[in-house]
């Protein structure tokens, strides 16, 4: 399998729920974000149109 020879077009992806925790005013606040992850290269694809 060749890698990185052709730029991945992220044609195949899964949508996962990813928990991210940020410290806000001294308290840890956890949000759940919908994130697309490419099935081919594993890269996160940011798409803020996702609801
Ligand atoms: Zn990709």
For residue 13, give the nearest of 50, 42, 49, 51 by alpha carbon. 42
Q: What is the pLDDT of residue 1?
A: 57
C-alpha of residue 44 to centroid of ligand 1, in Å = 8
Do 29 and 20 form a contact (C-beta atoms < 8 A)? no
Radius of gyration of the chain (CA): 15
Q: What is the pLDDT of residue 46?
A: 78
Residue 11: both structure tokens together: 């044609």
C-alpha of residue 9 to centroid of ligand 1, in Å = 6
Residue 27 in 3-state DSSP?
A: strand
How many CA atoms does the CB half-sphere of 30 hold within 13 Å? 4
Collect residues with CB below 5 Å from ion ligand 1. Answer: 8, 10, 38, 40-41, 43
pLDDT tens per residue across all 51 residues of the chain: 555 677 899 999 999 999 989 999 999 999 998 899 999 999 999 765 655
Residue 44: both structure tokens together: 């996160």
C-alpha of residue 8 to centroid of ligand 1, in Å = 4
Flag whether the pTM goes above 0.75: no
C-alpha of residue 29 to centroid of ligand 1, in Å = 30
């Amino acid at each position: 399998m060749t890698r990185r020879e052709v730029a991945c077009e992220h044609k195949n992806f899964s949508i996962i729920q990813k928990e991210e925790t940020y410290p806000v005013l001294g308290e840890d606040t956890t949000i759940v974000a919908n994130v697309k992850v490419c099935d081919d290269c594993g890269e996160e694809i940011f798409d803020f149109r996702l609801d």
